[in-house]
Amino acid sequence: MSENIPIFLSSGNDFCPFVATAIASICDTTSSFVDFYVIGTGITDENKSKIENLRKKFQNFSVEFIEIDEDEVYKDLEYYNSVTYINSPPVATYNRFLIPQLKPELKKVLYLDSDIVVLGDIKQLFDIDLEGYALGAVPTVWPNLLIKKELSISDEHKYFGAGVMLIDNQKWGQMNITKLAFETEKKYRDKLLMADQDVANIMFDNNYKILPHRFNYDMHTAFNFNNDDVVIRHFSGVKPWKLMEGTKTNLMPNIEDYWRYARMTDFYEIIKSMSPSAAENAHQLRQLQVLKMECTRGISRSVKFKKETHV
């Protein structure tokens, strides 16, 4: 009997359309049964039902909504900083560190950000042997020397993106990762540029299983590498719903895939309504062109992204 794949996502009510799109893509590309756990606050019964309605198309998943009291859980969490690349990211970005407390019985789990679509069998990622490491993640391709220096991270460490994480949940529990994450945030809160992602890199400094880029193929990777074997397309930076549906551009690989999966959900009209005007669409394309030029020159503008870039 094959093992179910447990996948955690974090979402407030507003991000349910993107969670549903991610779930649709996962269920469409794997034959495995997936147990989804959506950690969030204030998700309405209507939106829960819309996500659950994906069962009309897919029978290979379950979904559990885990309600948390953010006011209580994060009452001591502060990460506001005048130079932060996003102004006050939602505390929900720290939900990934709650997993070992919420589901201590699970052994190995996946955490995924909501701004992704899965284009290959997710089992390829889940089946990777962590070889004793507590975490598997994909290194970023953009410069991060300044970040590492500010956060006292070793030179040897490859700074990774926290949007896709393969987790040994038992080891995380033994490390008391929830408590450790909050302590780390408190210690470095005046230096954090990327909130929970910086915290994760501090905790796993030069001590994690390095995964191939195809498992977290984000904007910077797409600008620097061609990859025909993408498993997880992570839409960091400008989001697909910030461009008009049908926009043809090589500046955002897999945008057609995103809209294909969005159309499978009960949220399609809502996501479509987020599309910009023609003028704003042109502006977003110009922004992408500038970002591509700078990324290919090895210059990161990550510190200048807007709030919506962190999902």
What pLDDT, on the 0 to 100 scale, is given for residue 271? 95
The average pLDDT across 55-70 equals 94
Q: Is residue 193 within 8 Å of residue 84, measured between CB atoms?
A: yes
Minimum mean pLDDT among 67-76, 130-139, 299-308: which range?
Answer: 299-308
Q: Is the pLDDT of residue 182 over 60?
A: yes
- Would you tell me how many other CB atoms lie within 10 Å of the CB of residue 247? 18
- Residue 200 amino acid letter: A
CA dist 79 and 94 (Å) reads 11
The more confident residue out of 145 and 171 is 171
Nearest by Cα to 73 from 47, 93, 88: 93
The average pLDDT across 142-147 equals 64
Q: Is residue 9 within 8 Å of residue 37, measured between CB atoms?
A: yes
What pLDDT, on the 0 to 100 scale, is given for residue 304? 40
Q: Is residue 236 within 8 Å of residue 288, measured between CB atoms?
A: no
Q: Is the pLDDT of residue 146 over 80?
A: no
Domains parsed from the chain with CATH numbers: 1-311 (3.90.550.10)
pLDDT in tens, 216-267: 988 777 766 666 789 999 998 778 898 888 887 777 788 899 999 999 999 9
CA dist 71 and 128 (Å) reads 36
Q: Is the pLDDT of residue 298 over 70?
A: no
Confidence class for position 165, pLDDT limits 50, 70, 90 = very high
Tokens of 108: 């190995």
What pLDDT, on the 0 to 100 scale, is given for residue 83? 40
State what percent of residues in the chain have pLDDT above 90: 57
The more confident residue out of 173 and 81 is 173
Average pLDDT of the chain is: 86
Confidence class for position 301, pLDDT limits 50, 70, 90 = very low
Q: Is the pLDDT of residue 306 over 50?
A: no
pLDDT in tens, 11-46: 989 999 999 999 999 999 999 999 999 999 899 999
Confidence class for position 94, pLDDT limits 50, 70, 90 = confident
pTM given for the model: 0.88
What pLDDT, on the 0 to 100 scale, is given for residue 7? 98
CA 303, 306, 212, 141 dihedral sign is negative
DSSP lists the bridge partners of residue 34 as 5, 61
What pLDDT, on the 0 to 100 scale, is given for residue 311? 35
What pLDDT, on the 0 to 100 scale, is given for residue 176? 95
CA dist 231 and 112 (Å) reads 12
CA dist 144 and 260 (Å) reads 34
Q: Is residue 183 within 8 Å of residue 125, measured between CB atoms?
A: no
Q: Is residue 127 within 8 Å of residue 120, measured between CB atoms?
A: no
